[in-house]
Amino acid sequence: MIPVSLSWVAEQVNGQLIAQHKQDLIIKGVSTDTRSILPTDLFLALQGPNFDGHKFVKQAEDKGAVGLILSRKVETRLPYILVADTTIALGLLGAAVKAKVAPKTVGITGSSGKTTVREMVAAILSHRGKVLATKGNLNNDLGVPMTLLRLEQQHEFAVIEMGANHLGEIAYTSNLVKPDVATIVNAAAAHLEGFGSLLGVARAKSEIFKGLSEKEGLAVVNADSQFADYWMGKLKYNNVQTFSASKQADVYSENIILGLDGCAQFELVTPIGRIAISLSLPGAHNVSNALVSASLALHVGATLEDVRDGLRTMPHVAGRLHVKQLTNQVKILDDTYNANVGSVNAAIDLLSSFAGIKILVLGDMAELGEKARYYHEKVGEYAKLKGIDKLYTLGVLSQSASDVFTDNGRHFSRLEQMVECINQQTMPEKCDISILVKGSRSARMELVVKALEESPLGKLERFRERMAC
């Protein structure tokens, strides 16, 4: 965070500064967690239904905090700023720091793929200058302002991911971020418990455009989405650019070729020219992610060469679709970070492109509301349609997927049973076998990947590696 004075903070959050001494203090960080607080930090006491940061003021003092932001008076020797709501104060402070640093800013939301797009844009812009990007899943009403507070004066670009599980959340965070360019990667069946319907998802995602300047801000719209016209109707006074992986648009792709590793090569066509692109991430769906990333990055100053080089050298995103060669014949497609219908189907498309036996290992997809079993059935039907050989499920809802898969579908109640079954399928190895592991974060399907790597199959490959040495 940029160094700021305590009095400046009080002014930005509309708070009352209460201090025994008149000497103004310099703040170099803000923390909401006393476990990670640093000296020169300001401790902000968040409050919710099940927690109250005001109870940890003494711990903040002991850790070296130099000041506090509180919503009620407490006994403390530290100067503090009294506000009506500390959550709102956090947002105001994040927005103020962002305005003071004034980086070119990209806003990203979507049901799936937004984190991949975030990392793609950051990789492209890193060829232009210093980039701050959202870490992990800090994309909600608390995570977004905490990300903005990480801005330093040297940051020329900010790439901010925004998520939500209820209406109004993205409108709030987008108005804090005030992006120069913003996009909705896609809208799919996700968080339906909070949004009620797929249209509710599309409406919630469209809130990201509310933070754009009507005269100078650019909205980048997915022309392949069923909601493209709906979003365009909300952008009558904004600049708009479209992208498409299936037809001509402002930014589009031609001559897509999927390599043996599942990574795509294609021609990127933009209003300023065209260039050959090679992706480092597998999956045809990442062509669309690359197109929107190019649109976003080009608007804030990237060149076509920056786009090419950033996408070619982009590192793997942990938990996102990553092909791991377990043995000479067996590969694992680790896509365990999260799941909804759209992202599962995209991963199935990649799985279906590989030769040999194709196995889908599916955990529950969360937050799908009252139609959750129906959506799991649709995924099972899609896997069968795409020629997947076996579907193994783990969880309560995912059984609906293996049930509709019929004879080659099987449900497991315990991870160990599933891993043992997969090992029996793959040892001894007679042909190429690809195993896609997918599920929502709550399903913890990364444990399946870890168990397979530590199973007799994985140990066999490690034995071979040692013998080769």
Report whether 217 contacts 296 (CB < 8 A).
no
Task: Give the three-class secondary structure for 392.
Answer: strand
Q: Phi first, then psi: what are they for 354, rounded to 5°? A: -85, 150
Question: Is 114 annotated as ligand-binding?
Answer: yes
Tell me whether strands 4-5 and 26-27 are parallel, antiparallel or unpaired: antiparallel
Question: Is 111 annotated as ligand-binding?
Answer: yes
Residue 406: CB atoms within 10 A of its CB come to 10
Residue 276: CB atoms within 10 A of its CB come to 12
* Distance in angstroms (rounded) separating the CA atoms of residues 124 and 313: 9
Task: Give the three-class secondary structure for 233.
Answer: helix
Question: Is 55 annotated as ligand-binding?
Answer: no
Question: Is 107 annotated as ligand-binding?
Answer: no
Q: In terms of Cα–Cα distance, which of 240, 306, 250, 249 is closest to 277?
A: 306
Question: Is 387 annotated as ligand-binding?
Answer: no
Say how far residue 198 (Cα) sits from the centre of its chain.
Answer: 19
Question: Is 406 annotated as ligand-binding?
Answer: no
Report whether 68 contacts 34 (CB < 8 A).
no
CA distances from 147 to 5, 18, 64, 196 (A): 19, 27, 22, 29
* Distance in angstroms (rounded) separating the CA atoms of residues 28 and 268: 42
Question: Is 113 annotated as ligand-binding?
Answer: yes
Tell me the CB-side half-sphere exposure of residue 325, using CA atoms within 13 A: 8
Q: In terms of Cα–Cα distance, which of 129, 136, 125, 140 is closest to 181?
A: 125
3-6-11 Cα angle (round to 5) = 110
Say how far residue 352 (Cα) sits from the centre of its chain.
Answer: 25
Task: Give the relative orientation of helices 456-468 and 446-454 as an angle to the nearest 10 degrees.
Answer: 50
Number of residues written out for the chain: 469
Q: In terms of Cα–Cα distance, which of 334, 360, 443 is closest to 397?
A: 443
Binding-site annotation, residues for ATP: 110-116
Binding-site annotation, residues: 110-116
